[in-house]
Amino acid sequence: MNIPNLLTILRVLLIPVFIGLFYMPFSWSYWAASGVFALASVTDWLDGYLARRLGQSTPFGAFLDPVADKLMVAVALVLLVEEHANLWLTLPAAIIIGREIVVSALREWMAELGARAQVAVSNLGKWKTTAQMASLIILLGNPPRLDMWVGLGYSLLIIAAVLTLWSMVQYLRAAWPHLSSGANGK
């Protein structure tokens, strides 16, 4: 067990704390939930940085890090969809969660074929993650009323959803020769 892995585990353990704070009946609960989500977002960056910098990458960390990320984002999106209950948030949330399922399954399948590197994380994914995390921090920190901040959060989430679809298309294009090889008799 090393520091990057402990940070990843912390991110998973913060999920019930984050949920509890979100549902607290206090005026500060939105800010507290947003703060915990922001802390988890920082640990996501920090654990990867430390793992590379200190040479502490492990198979456990390589497995748990993306799982922790997807869990935290999916939980945040589900909470926000319930709270806001509108198309501007629900549609991007469905796109983001759906894409994560598709790309995770694609990566797993490509790994079984020994072609995992063809569907590796790209720089486009980093832009998507930045827009997504910023939007979630903003939306979690504000009640569901349309004001400048919530509008900015919706806009960033829509941008994240568009980048999500674009990156999914890139992954599918990279994997297409393997996906279509059965149809061509290869």
User: What CATH number does residue 48 fall under?
Assistant: 1.20.120.1760
In a domain, 162, yes or no: yes
Contact 19, 79 (CB under 8 A): yes
Contact 97, 79 (CB under 8 A): no
Rg (CA), the chain: 18
What per-residue confidence (pLDDT) applies to 171?
A: 82
Sequence letter at residue 36? V
In a domain, 29, yes or no: yes
- Spatial separation of the C-alpha atoms in residues 158 and 113, rounded to whole Å: 34
In a domain, 55, yes or no: yes
pLDDT in tens, 33-45: 999 999 999 998 8
In a domain, 14, yes or no: yes
- pLDDT band for position 116 (cuts 50, 70, 90): low
Contact 139, 73 (CB under 8 A): no
With CA atoms as reference, report the closest residue to 175 among 105, 115, 112.
115
What tokens were used for 65? 């890090």
In a domain, 184, yes or no: no
- Spatial separation of the C-alpha atoms in residues 70 and 58, rounded to whole Å: 19
Mean pLDDT value across the chain: 89
In a domain, 186, yes or no: no
Contact 174, 119 (CB under 8 A): yes
> What domain range includes position 172?
3-179
- pLDDT band for position 185 (cuts 50, 70, 90): very low
In a domain, 185, yes or no: no
Chain position carrying tokens 């004001």: 147
What per-residue confidence (pLDDT) applies to 118?
A: 57
Residues in the chain: 186
